[in-house]
Amino acid sequence: MTQGSIDHDILKPLLKEILENLSELSECQSVAIRLCKDGDFPYYLHVGFPEFFVLKETGLNVKDKEGNLVLDADGTPFVECMCGNVLKSRFNPKYPYFTKSGAFWTNSTTQLLKSLTEKEKQEIGKTRNTCHDYGYESVALIPMHADSKKIGLIQINDPRENMFTLEKVEKYQSLADHVGTIVLNILEFYEKVANDYSPETKSENVKK
Domains and CATH numbers, the chain: 9-207 (3.30.450.40)
On the question of pLDDT at 193 being above 70, the answer is: yes
Report the percentage of the chain scoring pLDDT > 90: 79
Q: Who wins on pLDDT, 63 or 188? A: 63
pLDDT of residue 44: 95
Q: Tell me the pLDDT band of 1, cut-offs 50, 70 and 90.
A: very low
pLDDT of residue 204: 58
What tens digit of pLDDT does each residue of 153-192 get?
A: 999 999 999 999 999 999 999 999 999 999 999 888 877 8
On the question of pLDDT at 58 being above 80, the answer is: yes
pLDDT of residue 3: 47
Note if the pTM is more than 0.75.
Answer: yes
On the question of pLDDT at 2 being above 50, the answer is: no
Question: Whole-angstrom Cα distance, residue 152 to residue 43?
Answer: 9
What tens digit of pLDDT does each residue of 86-141 get?
A: 999 999 999 999 999 999 999 999 999 999 999 999 999 989 999 999 999 999 99
Alpha-helical regions (H) of the chain = 12-26, 51-57, 81-87, 109-115, 118-124, 130-133, 166-196, 199-207
Strand order in the sheet with 43-47: 43-47, 30-35, 149-158, 138-146, 104-106
What tens digit of pLDDT does each residue of 4-48 get?
A: 455 567 889 999 999 999 999 999 999 999 999 999 999 999 999
